[in-house]
Amino acid sequence: MEKLHTALNGQIANWSVLYTKLHRYHWFVKGPHFFTLHEKFEELYNEAASVVDEVAERLLASGGTPVATMKEYLAVATLEETNGETTANEMVASLVEDYKHLKEELKGLAELSEQHGDDGINDLAVGLLVKLDLHIWMLSAYLGE
C-alpha cells in the first residue's frame, strides 16, 4: 500500500505544480489569442485544484497522508515548475508535454491500484487519463499538430 500512497502523493504534487504553472500562464499570456487562452488556463487550473482535492481525499480514505505544502510539492513533483515560457505557443506546448507526462504516471497508478485491488483509485486514475487525452488533443490542435 505504501507504493500506492507514494504514487498518489506524486499526483498531488504534480497537479499542485501544474495548478501554479497554469495560474502563471493565465496571468501572463499575451497576444491575439489572449481571451481564449486566458479563459482556458483558468478552466484548467480550476480542474487541477479539483484533482488535487480528489486525490488527497482518496489518499486519506485509504489510510495515507497527503503532501500539503509547497516545499513538499516541489520535493515530490516530477513536473518542472516552469521553463520560462513567455509566448502563448510556448505555454501551450509546455502544457502538452506536462499532460503527456502526467498521463504516463497515471497509467502506472492505474496498474498499481489494480494490483492492490483498489477500484476507487483505479477509477480516479482512468477518469483522469480520459481527461488528459482530450486536453492533449485539443492543445495540440491549437498548436497545429
- Return the HEC string of the chain: CHHHHHHHHHHHHHHHHHHHHHHHHHHHCCCCCHHHHHHHHHHHHHHHHHHHHHHHHHHHHCCCCCCCCHHHHHHHCCCCCCCCCCCHHHHHHHHHHHHHHHHHHHHHHHHHHHHCCCHHHHHHHHHHHHHHHHHHHHHHHHCCC
Among the four given CATH numbers 3.90.1300.10, 3.30.70.260, 1.10.3720.10, 1.20.1260.10, the one describing domain 2-142: 1.20.1260.10
List pLDDT tens digits, range 15-59.
Answer: 999 999 999 999 999 999 999 999 999 999 999 999 999 999 999
pTM above 0.85, yes or no: yes
**Domain locations in the chain?**
2-142
**Confidence at residue 35, expressed as pLDDT on a 0 to 100 scale:** 96
List pLDDT tens digits, range 63-111.
Answer: 999 999 999 999 999 999 988 899 999 999 999 999 999 999 999 999 9
